[in-house]
Amino acid sequence: MIIFITFLVTIIVDQLTKYMVVKNFSVGESLPIIKNIFHFTYVQNRGAAFGILQNQLPFFIIITLVVLGLLIYFYRQLPLNSIWNRVGLGLALAGTVGNFVDRIRLNYVVDFLDFRVWPVFNIADSAIVVAVIIFSYWILIVDNN
């Protein structure tokens, strides 16, 4: 149940925030939240992390489907007695699906969280990063004890 709730809440927040950015910003428009530190900046990312592999939509669709398959496989392998593993799996699934929805619907991913020292990203990207941190902690620390 925790996996589903985490997935659902993350997908809703991701898609809602992207919708609000698309409806209220022009591409490239930036709104300072904390001037020169954190802005909302609307970017249409047609690539992967850091904008690499621009305009490779078929490649990203295939990779996303492979990642979703691996997540489903790992669901069966993951010790789900830990709430953190369940949250991590929900976040990983939501992040993957959130950006996949953008690619299918828009042919790009909507990014808007801009810390000025890092490429612009979104909620789905954040969910994936947090999931990787949770899984890494589990593999490197917990599983080795």
Catalytic residue among 14, 102, 111, 114: 111
Question: Is 125 considered catalytic here?
Answer: yes
Decide if 60 contacts 52 (C-beta within 8 A).
no
- DSSP track, 78-93: S-TTSHHHHHHHHHHH
Torsion (CA) 19, 75, 140, 132 in degrees, nearest 10: -10
Catalytic residue among 14, 102, 114, 125: 125
Question: Is 114 considered catalytic here?
Answer: no
What are the catalytic residues? Answer: 111, 125
